Amino acid sequence: MSYDVAAVRAGYPALADGFAYLDGAAGTQVPVAVVDAIGAAYRSGIGNAGGRFPASERASALTAGCRQAVADLTGGDPAGVILGPNMTTLTYRLAGTLARDWGPGDEVVVSRLDHDANVRPWVQAAERAGATVRWAEVDISTGELPAGQYAALLSERTRLVAVTAASNVLGTRPDVPAITAAARAAGALSYVDGVHATPHIPVDVAALGADFYATSAYKWSGPHVGAVIAAPALLSTLHPDKLIPSPDTIPDRFERGTPPFADLAGVTAAVDHLAQLGAPGPGSRRERLLASMAAVEAYEQELFAALLDGLAGMSQVTTYGKAASRTPTAYFTVAGYTPDEVAKFLAGRQVNVWAGHNYAWELTGVLGLRDRGSAVRAGLVHYNDRSDVDRLLAALAELTG
């Protein structure tokens, strides 16, 4: 399948500012289709949901449309799509809810590969419940999270396994189906952080075996909205804190207060945008998403190979992570410069990158990087092109030359 990156880039007004946007792992730019969808929602008039008048019905329709879009993106059930401000907020909410049933002797498994948003909510909830936390370790020579270790970490007392579908700094994609299968066999639930993975691969929550799958639209060209996808039957067994008059239905009872209806229109538009990136031809939106994201993955991996090749040719650059399966996310240090100095220099060359732990708190700790400013992250997404990679490499050559 062809991938026309010039056409993709033309849809993003922000890219016209001349910067190489290699900061997508922290949040992507937004295509005009998403900006227009949000504007159109406001222009057409939005009331609060649940009323008798058309502007209110439009708000309800935007919410329903967003649930369907996120379900299509992830292979989930729209009736199990919980919407919220971001992944962190939703994860704290789910952790607080699930931990109501935990007690001393119960166990929770988290990983050192994960972003802290899929670690600390579980650790803190476990501590409050008196439950035990077990840690899955990273092989720091490769950046892999070996799935084989879970057999020894799980027991009949394990209640939950939290694991990422992709590291937001090393890009490592663990064998999630193997980990969730082991969790299920032990009678535990799995909570998969899909925030970093979702923009880079076709996602199928059933194939991943995830009981819960979390994602954030602002990482895949949408507005700042988070979502957790779960089976409605599972959600119906859970009872989060909620206001007395707010809906007790699924998934509404997991959502707090009034949602940003216009942004939900933007999320739907972002999903439609992803569905056409690889020019996938006809089919349902789900089918187009699977084909389009496969084209995105192939395109990004080719570009990533060029980036890694270039970095490997620089003697003063050290890269971290070489997992067999990775998102196009490079994490590196430059001898003689702090990561922050590198990021500042690159900004002066119109290259946007991040420096620091990027909330991969445990991982940067075990890598021995966190105490010295961690590293520089340059991440590719579907709108990056060869000129972005070349600009980064040229600027690094200038810095180290």
Ligand X SMILES: Cc1ncc(COP(=O)(O)O)c(C=O)c1O
Kindly tell me which of 98 and 195 has the beta carbon lying closer to ligand X.
195
Kindly tell me which of 292 and 329 has the beta carbon lying closer to ligand X.
329
**Residues in 353-382 that interact with ligand X by CB under 6 A:** none
Q: Does 319 bind ligand X (CB under 6 A)?
A: no
Query: Closest approach of Cβ 244 to ligand X, in Å?
Result: 28
Q: Does 193 bind ligand X (CB under 6 A)?
A: yes
Q: Does 87 bind ligand X (CB under 6 A)?
A: yes
100-129 footprint of ligand X as x/- string (CB under 6 A):
---------------x-xx-----------
Kindly tell me which of 108 and 214 has the beta carbon lying closer to ligand X.
214
Rounded distance between C-alpha atoms, residue 388 and residue 401, angstroms? 20
Number of other residues whose CB lies within 10 A of the CB of residue 246: 12
Q: Does 329 bind ligand X (CB under 6 A)?
A: no
Kindly tell me which of 3 and 92 has the beta carbon lying closer to ligand X.
92
Query: Closest approach of Cβ 255 to ligand X, in Å?
Result: 15
Kindly tell me which of 58 and 93 has the beta carbon lying closer to ligand X.
93
**Residues in 67-86 that interact with ligand X by CB under 6 A:** 86
Rounded distance between C-alpha atoms, residue 396 and residue 345, angstroms? 9
Q: Does 168 bind ligand X (CB under 6 A)?
A: yes
Q: Does 352 bind ligand X (CB under 6 A)?
A: no
**Residues in 194-223 that interact with ligand X by CB under 6 A:** 195-196, 216
Query: Closest approach of Cβ 104 to ligand X, in Å?
Result: 29
Kindly tell me which of 86 and 236 has the beta carbon lying closer to ligand X.
86
Binding site for ligand X (CB under 6 A): 26, 86-88, 115, 117-118, 164, 168, 193, 195-196, 216, 226
